Amino acid sequence: MILSDDELTRYARHIVLKEFGGSGQARLKAATVVIVGAGGIGSPAIQYLGAAGVGRLILVDDDSVEPSNLQRQTIFTTADTGVAKVDAAAGAVRRINPHVAVETHCLRIDRANVASLLAGADVVLDGCDNFATRFCVADAAYALGIPLVSAAVGQFEGQLATYRGWEADKPCYRCFVGEDPERAETSCAEDGVLGPVTGVVGSLAALEVLRAIAPFGDDPAGKLLLIDLLALRFRSIRLPKDPGCSACGKREPTL
Ligand SMILES: [Zn+2]
């Protein structure tokens, strides 16, 4: 993947990083990332991944921009109200960086469409707002062998992890969450969330997507980052592989 003069100038602050460099930038250009959810986490993630020069972004979300989104979903403007989130976000990416190809899917991911949406992706970022979609995306990413960056927020807190559960010593999403999709979900609509909390977690999710494409620093798989922004505290805990996991343990995965 050759970088043009314009790209060499645009990405100069990446290329000068010895941990990343021109080879990392070329890997970004060659990469396809699926982003599930163009909401509070998706907004900064899409902006940073677009600006960073990921070659192809595939945006999936079935919502339209609502006035109550604008307090935290900073990729949207007041004029986007009523527009499909994926369309408004794609327009923003094209304004940020014309070198990025953006593909949009205004739909809800389900078990019938997930494999075709994820096919060929190098990384999947899940920043959606419900467990049914999270399980569906996580199971498909596991089955297809695609690294999954999973991010979640609530009120003043967040969680972030990267899953490669097909590897012998690395957990999958179900090792962590188990099998119960009916567990209580936190809802930004009901519980509220401070705007910059989504910015922090979404930006960290973008960082982890870049790390998954062009590895730098420590491998995050097998760890869970807990972000407590009431206390302004970040904590990383070990996430072991569950030998009895229904997905990556002894049983065969089901899609
Ligand atoms: Zn597992």
pLDDT at 252: 53
pLDDT at 226: 98
**Confidence band, pLDDT 50/70/90 cuts, at residue 18:** very high
**Confidence band, pLDDT 50/70/90 cuts, at residue 129:** confident
**Confidence band, pLDDT 50/70/90 cuts, at residue 88:** very high
**Confidence band, pLDDT 50/70/90 cuts, at residue 31:** very high
Residue 157 clears pLDDT 90, i.e. is over it: yes
Whole-number Å distance, alpha carbon 168 to ligand 1 midpoint, is: 10
Whole-number Å distance, alpha carbon 125 to ligand 1 midpoint, is: 18
Whole-number Å distance, alpha carbon 166 to ligand 1 midpoint, is: 8
pLDDT at 180: 72
**Confidence band, pLDDT 50/70/90 cuts, at residue 32:** very high
Roughly how many angstroms between the first and final C-alpha of the chain, as a whole number?
34
Is 231 buried (19+), middle (13-18) or exposed (0-12) by CB count in 10 A?
exposed
Whole-number Å distance, alpha carbon 244 to ligand 1 midpoint, is: 8
pLDDT at 235: 97
210-232 average pLDDT score? 98
Whole-number Å distance, alpha carbon 243 to ligand 1 midpoint, is: 8
Q: Rounded to whole angstroms, how far apart are CA atoms 47 and 205? A: 12
Phi, psi of 44 (to 5 degrees): -65, -35
Q: Rounded to whole angstroms, how far apart are CA atoms 25 and 15? A: 7
243-247 average pLDDT score? 92
Point out the residues that are catalytic: 188
138-142 average pLDDT score? 97
pLDDT at 185: 67
Phi, psi of 156 (to 5 degrees): -125, 25
Close Cβ partners of 35 (under 8 Å, ≥ 6 residues apart): 42, 45, 46, 49, 57, 58, 59, 60, 125, 127
60-69 confidence digits (pLDDT tens): 999 999 999 9
What is the three-class DSSP state of 143? helix
